[in-house]
Amino acid sequence: QLWHVGRMSHPDFHGGELPHAPSAINPHSKSFTPEGFKDTETPKEMTIEEIKQTILDYKKAAENAMRAGFDGVEIHSSNGYLLHQFFNRTSNVRTDEYGGSIENRARILFEVIDTIKEVMPENRIGLRLNPSLHGIFGMTMDEETIPTFDYIIEKLNQYNLAYLHLSEPFNDISEIPYAEKEIAKRYRPIYKGTLIINAGFDQERGNQFILEGLADAVAYGKPFISNPDLVERFAENAPLAEWDQATFYTPGEKGYTDYPKLSVSKLV
């Protein structure tokens, strides 16, 4: 994944300088620093020159990934980080070509894709989006949120991407106006390429989505943390180990590399 966290970063990572973002709006969240979680600060609004340089930084990162032998990259434009901050009117109040209209707020994403494809084939580029994020990292939904993602995802059909990776809602958004509760059902008919879905899936629900044609693949996160042999366990319908959420975002091997695999004898 190619990341830029925008306003979710912290001056501790930038020699005391403020992190960059579309607009100078504090998400009033927490940033994980070497000293642990700290309150976010009001970021610096990016100049046009800084936006253009950041787009080139994505290109350099993709170029470095290919030189290092990666098969491809996923552009992380999701979950309240920089590119997502440009999409959302609560984090982007610019009045130039990168703010205001849906087309302007989405502009940076397509400029990033266009510059990355100069150094690698389009079909080695994946993209991650989260249309239903609300109440996390200062992001809220409004009447233009879903139309913005409708525009983005429809326009992505002009590219030959490796895949589009979407998330179902992370939390309960049943009472949120304008929210889309069923992401795969909405966007499977719109997006013509390979579609990956994730967020809160178990094996049964993942299989159901595949069988119903709602996605081409399902991505698993937390179950993979606690089950390094998740594929083998799914294949054998073996029980899964529970993850220890208290170890998330903590240093050291505990909760990352210390989950055991099932023995071969149990899988045979």
pLDDT of res. 262: 87
Q: Whole-model pTM?
A: 0.93
Strands 30-33 and 36-39, by their bridges, are antiparallel
State how far the alpha carbon of 209 is from the alpha carbons of 168, 177, 202, in Å: 12, 25, 11
Which pLDDT score, from 0 to 100, does residue 112 have?
98
Residues of the chain with pLDDT under 50: 264-265, 267-268
The predicted pLDDT at position 266 comes to 54
Catalytic residues: 81
| Residue at token pair 């990292």 | 137
> Which helix (H) or strand (E) segment is 104 a member of?
helix 102-116
Q: In what order do the strands lie in the sheet with 195-198?
A: 73-76, 125-129, 163-167, 195-198, 217-219
Residues 255 and 244: their CA atoms lie apart, in Å, by 6
Output the six-digit token pair for 221: 């996160």
Instruction: Report which secondary-structure segment, H or E, holds 44.
Output: strand 44-45
C-beta separation of 222 from 243 below 8 A: yes
pLDDT, one tens digit per residue, over 40-94 is 999 999 999 999 999 999 999 999 999 999 999 999 999 999 999 999 999 999 9
**pLDDT computed for residue 268 by the predictor:** 46
How far is Cα 113 from Cα 85, in angstroms, rounded to an integer? 17
> What is the enclosing helix (H) or strand (E) of 116?
helix 102-116
Q: What is the pLDDT of residues 153-164, one digit of tens each?
A: 999 999 999 999
With beta carbons less than 8 A apart as the criterion, state whether 174 and 210 touch. no
In this prediction, residue 267 carries a pLDDT of: 47
pLDDT for 263 equals: 74
Measured in degrees and rounded to the nearest 5, phi and psi for residue 70 equal: -70, 150
List domains and CATH numbers for the chain: 6-219 (3.20.20.70)
CA dist., res. 107 & res. 98, Å (int): 6
